[in-house]
Chain A
Amino acid sequence: MSALSNSNWSRRSLFRAAAGMAAAGSLAACGGNNGRSGGAGSGVDLTQFFHAYGEAGTEQAIKKYAKAYDKANVTTQWITSADFESKLFATLLTKNAPDLFEFHPQIQMIKSGQVADLTDIIDPVKSDFNPADIKSHTVDGKIYGVRMIDDPQFFFYRKSMLEKAKVEVPTTLDELMEAAAKLTTGKVKGLYMGNDLHNVINPMIWSAGADTLDAKNQIAYHTPGVIEGIKKMRKLFTSGNLLLGAPTESWDPSSLNQGLCAIQFCGMWAMPGIQKALGDDWGVFPFPKTVDSGKQSVYNGGWSMFVNAKGKNVDAAKEYVKWLWIDQKEYQEDWATSYGFHIPPRTSIAQSATKLKSGNAAEGVRLFNEFGHFDNIGWTQAMISSLEDVFANSVRKDMDPEAALDKADTAVNRELKKLFG
């Protein structure tokens, strides 16, 4: 006789147990991860998606802001970085789509009606925002997202290692390659730019005097300078002086902090962590000139808050965005400077942020202002992938750069035709 048949289980008790479990599940679902202890706000429920920031305290900060808002019950989903884009895009097609989400400005989201027009909430304070940030979120005079943070990205280096190897801070790609060679020892590689090199693609193009797209939304990356740059990057990749196969990607400063490399490409967000690990033994410099006719460059990345135009509570979501990312200057400064370092996109906050006024943080702000390039709203995810393929094929796999760029042109033109006709 089975144990089940020997017990007191009956159909009725099974149903009762199932009902109990269902009720428990519902109660558990009520809890959410909104940081509230049980309050229900005004009855309006909003969900927001964030990618998982690496800096300690960021998730708690976002939940703290949400908890302080009393006109809606705001829930936060904190999504692993690598999965963020695919989860966001897939969810946007469903009824479980978030009301708000952070992302980068991209025109296809506007053309497909995925994001709401936020012009009315930004217009009154438009002059206080970095004009480049406003431009990068504007299509046909309408503004489609609120920039939360600006993230300049450049090289971080160990001062003591460069001094010991008698290496000057590089200003050209050739000098960077020489520096990487001199800094490579038995246990330390000269340079780390990420395992896939994706983060240095745009800086290399800008430093070659080119761009991704021009003002007419036509291909601007296919130039002799970029081809020369790709060849140099291939030489660097095969030199043995580049750190490859590191446990973390370049957004994480662990490789520099742990002494795996002397120079690492990373973002300004890493500054507090690097300061803690290395004291004052570090500095920053922009991506060097790819060719003589080029210019040093810095990628001003960042994250913006968007409202799902197909959501159930568009107006409530816009109200929350206005409250948090336009009215609450204290939270905006806290978000930009209390965890990792970022530059607040609001000029008034950026000017008063004391943590960004000295040392390497101030130098980062200077590089941002002098060499910075912002997101181009017409440069979409599919186009980004096409240039990533160029780097994978030419730099890492030795394909002819001209042929690789031709292949990218086909894919980018297909995308441009669909977007702009």
Chain B
Amino acid sequence: MSTTKTRDLARPAPAKASPAKPRRGLRGSPTFNFWLFTGPFLIGLAIFVYAPILWSLWLSFFEARFTVTPDKFVGFENYTYMLTNDDFVGSLVTFTVFAAFIVPTTWALSLGLALLVNRLRFMRAFFRSVFFLPTACSYVAAALIWKMSIFSGVRFGLMNTVIGWFGVENIAWLADPNPPWYWLVIVTARLWLQSGFYMILFLAALQNIPGELYEAAAIDGAKPGWQTFRHITLPQLRATSTAVILLLLIAAYQAFDEFFNLLSKTTWGRPPLVELYYKALGESQDYGSGSAGAVILTVLICAVTLLQGKFMGFGRGDESK
């Protein structure tokens, strides 16, 4: 009897794609994935940001009244008009005053809040949320609350009620520019809206400072409090501070909502964007001059940002350096 051994048993299993083997083709291509994820964003950026900027640049050289497809080329006439316009130049002064108020106060307040919240042992999350929540509020809504409830000029406005307890007459906070109480209204509204956001940035930076630095300082005899804050905390926050100041400055340039809603059709307290809206866009429909003003403003923001970054050392290195 012969026995036969089948060799099939030793045959390897039918070929199967190895699970470890990377997929080929487009979906496996890093280039495809790059465009898949960034493409929609880039298309949006091109359509909604770069195209309008280029269109605005083009419009600024045309007589574009009541149309955004003009045909009358005027060269630099719109630029000359805007640069010799007292109101537009005045709006840059307004911005400077506003930035001089709002940038340091927001920086100081948000840093103070961050230090305060960082040291809290109880209800830390609650206070972080409380200070951060105003960031979620619309500038328009906040402006209307400030205008109609808190700083209303009549006797039942909150501030007028409070000062009335001390025998002070009602103040028209926003209607009368002398004295310029409107700055108090604008600055407090923006402080309330912004400080929470920057507090979070400082809080993150504070938590990145190594504890060993404070321990070493303590061993070297540094007193906790002001001395430690000045010589350790503040230098460690340098990069964050620079970024915060940069962001605050840009936000100040872009100020529109609260000014527009708090100071309706005044000639004072007009930052550049409000001035551009009233003088060149908006009701006048002079899109040529408006675009020229926007280009001037863009160049100015870029120049100031670069200079500020250069002076404050933005991006020079780690926070500790």
List A residues at the B interface (Cβ < 8 Å): 82, 85-86, 89, 93, 108-109, 112, 114, 187, 195-196, 198, 237, 243-247, 260, 381-382, 385, 388-389, 392-393, 396-398, 407, 418
Contacts and interface: CB of A to CB of B under 8 A. Distances in A.
B264 interface: yes
Given A86-B282, A260-B154, A385-B278, A245 B174 contact: yes
A50 to B, nearest CB: 18
B95 interface: no
Contacts of A187: 155
Contacts of B175: 195-196, 244-245, 396
A397 B268 contact: yes
Contact of B65 (A86, A108, A388): A108
Given A93-B67, A389-B267, A245 B178 contact: no
Given A247-B154, A260-B154, A385-B279, 10 more contacts: A93-B68, A112-B67, A195-B153, A195-B264, A237-B176, A389-B267, A392-B266, A396-B175, A396-B176, A418-B65
B173 A381 contact: no
B258 interface: no
Interface of B: 65-68, 86-87, 148, 151-155, 157, 170-178, 264-268, 277-279, 282-286
B266 A196 contact: yes
A94 to B, nearest CB: 9
B152 A245 contact: yes
Q: Looking at chain B's contact residues, is the secondary structure mostly helix, strand, loop, or mixed?
A: loop
Contact of A244 (B65, B153, B266): B153
B177 A246 contact: no
Contacts of A245: 151-154, 157, 170-176
Contact of B66 (A82, A114, A243, A398): A114
A260 B282 CA distance: 33
13 contacts: A89-B285, A112-B67, A187-B155, A195-B264, A243-B153, A245-B153, A245-B157, A245-B171, A381-B285, A389-B267, A393-B267, A397-B267, A418-B65
Contacts of A381: 283-285
A393 B174 CA distance: 15
A82 B283 contact: no
Nearest to B266: A392
Nearest to B264: A196
Of B67, B86, B174, B267, the most chain A CB neighbours within 10 A belong to B267
Nearest to B69: A93
Contacts of A198: 265
Nearest to B85: A411
Nearest to A195: B175
Contact of A388 (B87, B148, B178, B265): B265
B174 A397 contact: no
Contacts of B284: 381-382, 385
Nearest to B174: A245
A99 B64 CA distance: 23
B286 A382 contact: yes
A108 B173 CA distance: 37
B48 to A, nearest CB: 15
A403 to B, nearest CB: 11
B97 to A, nearest CB: 15
Given A244-B175, A398-B178, A86 B283 contact: yes
A254 to B, nearest CB: 11
Contacts of A246: 153-154
Contacts of B155: 187
B154 A85 contact: no
A89 B67 CA distance: 10
Nearest to B177: A397
A277 to B, nearest CB: 17
A290 to B, nearest CB: 22
A89 B152 CA distance: 31
B66 A247 contact: no
Contacts of B170: 245
Nearest to A389: B267
Contact of A82 (B148, B174, B177, B264): B264
A396 B283 contact: no
A112 B65 contact: yes
Nearest to A398: B178
Contacts of A196: 175, 264-266
A413 to B, nearest CB: 13
Contacts of B286: 382
A192 to B, nearest CB: 10
Contacts of A86: 277, 282-283
B147 to A, nearest CB: 8
Nearest to B176: A244
B283 A382 contact: yes
A245 B262 CA distance: 11
Of B67, B172, B175, the most chain A CB neighbours within 10 A belong to B175
A195 B265 CA distance: 10
Contacts of A396: 175-177, 266
A112 B68 CA distance: 12
Contact of A392 (B148, B267, B283): B267
A334 B47 CA distance: 47
